[in-house]
Amino acid sequence: MSFPSNRLQLVVTAALLICVSARASQKQKEYRERGEFKIYASDKEIGSEKYAILSSGDTVTSNSTLDFRNPGDSHQKIQLETRLEMNARFVPRNYLLKSDVEGKKGEIRGEFSSNQAMFSFVAADGSPRKSGMLVGNEFTVLDTNIFHHFIFLSRRFNYDSKDKSQRFEVIVPQEEDSGFVTISQVGRETLNVRGKKLETRHLRVDSGALQIHLWIDTQNFLDKISVPDRGIDVIRQQ
């Protein structure tokens, strides 16, 4: 699929009770989420993505491992490993992607600052190169085939806003590209997943070239991603 992708400071005091209370407060501010997506192409399972998210103070980090077979070449195995660090609004600070395509390994490192993204690439043959691009003040990483990145994009959508269609800048490191997507709320729907009926909000992400559909349940979990034009469905298993 291609389309146009915290540190909590603890104040140490002399009073033990205050110190314990501060640690308790720190722990309350942490949020952890783990999940696994199953990936389907034309109703056939082709792989999975496991991810973990940690939110602490003003820092959100995610790690993921994706293993799948190329839908166009079922003999080709692909593994992608990622680590993404962001602020609390899911604006990236740094990004790492390691790829392994039939033993050919590559790497992308991204560093982000105000209005700028810089990338370092290492190709399968070991040759390095660098590139950069200008971006806005707020943007989200939405990398190719890294499905849990849609979690961060969906959580930027404001359901209480009068604007039912909202525009967000995204950056796609593997494509060395950036652009804007428009997210619209389709409505509330009952979704059948994992043998359960879930009440969800249905969002539509429009890149201009492609439409992606997201279903988010009442616990704010992203339960399903669908790309009808590509025959791709991604379903959360846990």
- pLDDT, one tens digit per residue, over 180-226 is 999 999 999 999 887 889 999 999 999 999 999 999 999 999 999 99
185 with 159: CB under 8 angstroms? yes
Dist CA 44 CA 138 (whole Å)? 37
pLDDT at 12: 30
The predicted pLDDT at position 25 comes to 44
- pLDDT band of 114, cuts 50, 70, 90: confident
Per-residue model confidence (pLDDT) at position 138: 93
Cα–Cα distance for residue pair 98/1, rounded to 1 Å: 18
H or E stretch including 180? Answer: strand 177-193
The pTM score is 0.85
Which long-range CB contacts under 8 A does 211-219 form with residues at least 24 apart? 212/3, 212/150, 213/186, 214/150, 214/154, 215/189, 215/191, 216/154, 217/191
Dmax (CA) of the chain? 63
- Distance of alpha carbon 40 from alpha carbon 29, whole angstroms: 35
The Cα 203–Cα 168 span in angstroms is 14
Query: How far from chain centre, in Å, is Cα 5?
Result: 8
Tokens found for residue 146: 């890294």
Judge contact between 66 and 49, C-beta under 8 A: yes
Residue range 127-132: mean pLDDT, rounded:
93
The chain-wide mean pLDDT, for the chain, equals: 88
Dist CA 119 CA 176 (whole Å): 8
- Core vs surface per residue 159-177: b (16+ CB within 10 A) or e: eeeeeeebebbbbbbbeee
Beta bridge partners of 108: 97, 121
Using CA atoms, how far apart are residues 227 and 230, in angstroms rounded to an integer? 6
Contact, 98 vs 105, CB < 8 A? yes
* Main-chain phi, psi angles of 205, to 5 degrees: -105, 120
Give the residue extent of every domain in the chain.
31-236
| Segment holding 234, helix H or strand E | strand 232-236
pLDDT higher at 31 or 4: 31
Residue 3 — pLDDT band, cuts 50, 70, 90? very low
CATH number for the segment(s) 31-236 = 2.50.20
- pLDDT one-digit tens code per residue, 51-103: 999 999 999 999 999 999 988 787 889 999 999 999 999 999 999 999 999 99
Residue 196 has a pLDDT of 86
